[in-house]
Structure 1
């Protein structure tokens, strides 16, 4: 399983507030170790890796998580608590 976190950088160059909050929760709950990759969706650069992934999966909210498991369609999570319940807690228990 590969988990990618996509965070947004706003037009003024600052990180989005929700992205900061989710990052902090990941660190506090010791879930950040399960995130394999973090990409930045910089709204000032349409070619940034995060913007490309957001377009590819038609995601308009940030932050979001892309969860890829071999042999399955990638899952997109735009709600942190749903990701925790369905993915991260299970990884913690394993």
Structure 2
């Protein structure tokens, strides 16, 4: 299983507030160890890695997570708690 987090950096260079909060929750809970990569979607830069992924999956919220499991279509999570319930808690068990 591969989990990618996409977080947003605002045009003024600051991280989006919600992205920072979710990243802190991941660290506090220990779930950050289950995140394989973190990509940045830079506001106003359509070519940034995170922005390209957001465009590909047609996601307009940040942060979001792409969960890839072998033999299955990637699953997108825009709600942190749903990701924890359905993926991270299951994976930790």
Place the TM-score, normalised by the shorter chain, in its bin: over 0.9
Task: Give the match for residue 43 of structure 1.
Answer: 43
What is the alpha-carbon distance in structure 1 between the residues aligned to residue 55 and residue 43 of structure 2? 12
TM-score after normalising by structure 1: 0.97
What is the alpha-carbon distance in structure 2 between the residues aligned to residue 91 and residue 72 of structure 1? 16
Corresponding residue SS for 2:61: coil
Unaligned runs of 5+ in 2: none
TM-score after normalising by structure 2: 0.98
Q: Does 1:91 align with 2:85?
A: no
Unaligned runs of 5+ in 1: none
What is the alpha-carbon distance in structure 2 between the residues aligned to residue 5 and residue 84 of structure 1? 13
Alpha-carbon RMSD: 0.5
**1:44: Cα distance to partner?**
2.8
What is the alpha-carbon distance in structure 1 between the residues aligned to residue 35 and residue 44 of structure 2? 25
